[in-house]
Amino acid sequence: MLDQLLANSENLLYGIFGIVITIFLILDLGVFHKKPGKISQKDALQQSLFWVVVSIIFGGVIYFYYENPVPGVTPYESMLEFYSAYLTEKALSIDNIFVILLILRYFKVKDEYYHGILFWGILGAIIFRAIFIFVGALLISKAHWILYVFGVFLVYSGLKIFKDDEDMEIEPEKNPLIQLARKFFPISKGDMGGRFVIFKQGKLIFTPLFLVIILIESTDLIFAVDSIPAAFAITQNPFIIYTSNIFAVMGLRAMFFLLSNVLDKFYLLQKGLAIILIFIGAKMLVDIFSIHVPVIWSFSMILVVLIGSIILSLIFPKKPELVNN
């Protein structure tokens, strides 16, 4: 039984992937961050680099040990699919970070509670994205035309993002999940030392930080509507989609602390993201005419657009808004 399991490279790599993620989640919350505390820029940079390196190594493992079940897909193409999906999710995470920051500021959450909130938010993302990805893969296996619907949606999303220059606003009190939580759960007024729930006079009371978690999870699901179809545009392999997606999500928290104060400097990343969505959506649609875009072209285009967006943002900094006297 064990020999059969190990003989399947996908099962083996799923096992390695699961062990790596589980170990670092336990170490993260159970060892390194037992008590609430603010994450320094230095720690955020080290953690970001760590997850990037781990992701690069995992891509190498895919190249050497993964036997792609899709006929005709070489180990080299499997690795590039992983990196392409990973980079796309990283790019999409920029908008996610901005919205999370708005939510935390709206609820006036103290900096030292950010880590715990983001930890549980990422844990939820791991679970919900697994459901989204494998349900999506099942639907596509039954009805291939769904891919073309994804393609149209991605092109539309890319055009909308490219044209939209307005500042993003959030209205948590209009979120239906927040409204339901306030209706059915008793909510305390204070943050209660960073806890999400407390017992008071024998009753279970939820804190405002619990509402923050709900809002962040629902926001991530909304962003997953873009990121998961984008991943399916790159590859239809659930293993590569899920592992690349989760590695990008695992690095999201560190990237949040690293970029939260400098997001405005990379203002052209949003335009770059729009271009990437339009490209991969179009790549999916031209398949209707049996036109295949090589994986290396997709990977190169995503990489060039991301790097170009960052460099152009620094060369041509955003002009400060004029204040009317």
- So where are the chain's domains? 2-315
Q: pLDDT value at position 33?
A: 54
Q: How confident is the model at residue 81 (pLDDT cuts 50, 70, 90)?
A: very high
pLDDT above 60: residue 164: yes
pLDDT above 60: residue 321: no
Highest mean pLDDT among 8-12, 199-203, 228-232: 228-232
Average pLDDT, the chain: 80
Distance CA 130, CA 141 (A): 17
Instruction: Give the burial string for 228-241 (b: 16+ CB within 10 Å, else e).
Output: bbbbbbbbbbbbbb
Q: pTM of the predicted model, to two decimals?
A: 0.82
Distance CA 323, CA 325 (A): 6
The pLDDT tens digits for 88-128 are: 888 887 777 777 877 887 888 887 788 778 888 888 888 88
End-to-end CA separation in angstroms for the chain:
76
Neighbours of 56 (CB within 10 A): 13
Q: pLDDT value at position 80?
A: 93
In this structure, what DSSP letter does residue 182 have?
H
pLDDT above 60: residue 158: yes
Distance CA 163, CA 34 (A): 44
Distance CA 78, CA 246 (A): 17
Rounded to 5 degrees, φ, ψ at 33 are -135, 55
Q: Is 299 exposed, middle or buried (0-12, 13-18, 19+ CB in 10 A)?
A: buried
- Tokens 């983001």, residue located: 118
Q: Check: CB of residue 223 under 8 Å from CB of residue 31.
A: no
